Structure 1
Amino acid sequence: MQDDDFSLFRSAVRGVKPMQHDRADTGKPRSNKAQVATRRANAVVGDGEPRVDGLSDQFVIDVGAEDELYWSRDGVQDSQLRKLKAGQVPFEGSLDLHGLNVEKARQLLWDFLAEATKFEIRCVRVTHGKAARTDGRRPMIKSHVNTWLRQHPQVLGFTSCLPRHGGTGSVYILLKRTMLEGRDE
């Protein structure tokens, strides 16, 4: 029976050539230090074309790492914001802005809120982080998100999340809905 197995194996590997080297190709490209340095430099510099999206950086409200964010437009019921703060309004989408530069964070936030509005989503969560900056100043992305959300026309209000959803490093955002045709609510 062993001879049958051996001949079966030989016929299965007929035509196979032995490998000439013993190193595996992981497919992972080696890091190009010049390319990494260029990418880092480009991350800090804008592309020169300011986006006209209504989210201004002219005045940024600085907030602390542990500061709770809470804001609503005039006319939004206090009970709605209390429910939002208590996590009783389920969020249907989430965006993480950790590690991004300000311009990229603004672009992603704008696009994310536009998408949520398009699909008539009522509440989303945005994680901005709360890391203190190396220069000792307030958290940059958190401060910008706090400012931008107040300017966005679809945002009715926002509040810091419950600890299980990111605490003071994230916000629940209550959005306007225009009611799609044929929708009952």
Structure 2
Amino acid sequence: MSRRSDRLSEDDRVLWNLVARTAKPLKGKIAVDIAAGARPPPSQSVQAAASPAGAAKPKTQHVSHALDEPTLDKLSKGRLPIEGRVDLHGLTQDEAYSLLFSFLHRAHAGGIRYVLVITGKGSSSGGDGVLRRAVPAWLSTPAFRPLVSSHDHAARNHGGSGALYVRLRRVR
């Protein structure tokens, strides 16, 4: 008989925190505060995305490279397979960050190379969506750097400006 390990992996912990934060306590019960886990809070990276264009960026922040034109062309025409996709519609920033991080971590571990991240285009009132602005900034942060090689806006048939192609780094 094998012993079950009572420890959660980092992916399981992120997923559990995502689910636990959305759960409502039963009537008459007190809500338990859930620890955020070992990931950086998304508010730090969102500030970088929301900063004005003329503002100076810190030297430690590295921006991922955009996909090269031949690869972008192959992805948009379907000649290069998109092996995974994640839809972040309707999620809060914390939920989206946790889901995106765990999804990319599992995809990278599985040897997947190209994925589609659907952020949505934002509100219909003319403003940019929060996730549409924040996700590219998240992908350029140190937490995602070991996973993400590059990213770019998707072709119109894959969601256009409301989606991103993400190339994951090769597993070493």
Decide: shared fold, TM above 0.5.
yes
Task: Give per-residue Cα distances to partners, 1:47-84, cap 9 Å, x unaligned.
Answer: 5637524863331247xxxxxxxx8439x755444544
Find the partner of 2:49 among 43, 60, 64. 60
How large is the Cα RMSD of the aligned pairs?
3.4
Q: 1:91 matched to which residue of 2?
A: 82
Name the CA distance, whole Å, in 2 between partners of 1:177 and 1:128: 24
Is it true that 1:103 corresponds to 2:94 in the alignment? yes
Shift of 1:174: 0.6
* C-alpha contact 1:132 1:138 (8 A) present in aligned 2: yes
Name the CA distance, whole Å, in 1 between partners of 2:74 and 2:109: 23
Find the partner of 2:168 among 167, 175, 183. 175
3-state DSSP class of the match of 1:124?
Answer: strand
Is it true that 1:114 corresponds to 2:105 in the alignment? yes
Identity across the alignment (%): 31
Name the CA distance, whole Å, in 2 between partners of 1:141 and 1:176: 23
TM-score, normalized by length of structure 1? 0.56
Larger Rg computed on CA atoms:
1
TM-score, normalized by length of structure 2? 0.60
Describe the shift of the 1:133–1:50 C-alpha distance in structure 2 as closer, same or farther (beyond 3 A).
farther
Structure 1: unaligned runs, 5 residues or longer: 1-34, 63-70, 180-185
Task: Give per-residue Cα distances to partners, 1:71-103, cap 9 Å, x unaligned.
Answer: 8439x7554445445554311011000000000
Aligned positions of 1:29-178 closer than 5 A: 49=36, 51-53=38-40, 56-61=45-50, 72-73=64-65, 79-84=70-75, 87-132=78-123, 137-151=127-141, 152-153=144-145, 154-178=147-171
* C-alpha contact 1:95 1:127 (8 A) present in aligned 2: yes
* C-alpha contact 2:120 2:131 (8 A) present in aligned 1: yes
Name the CA distance, whole Å, in 2 between partners of 1:80 and 1:111: 25
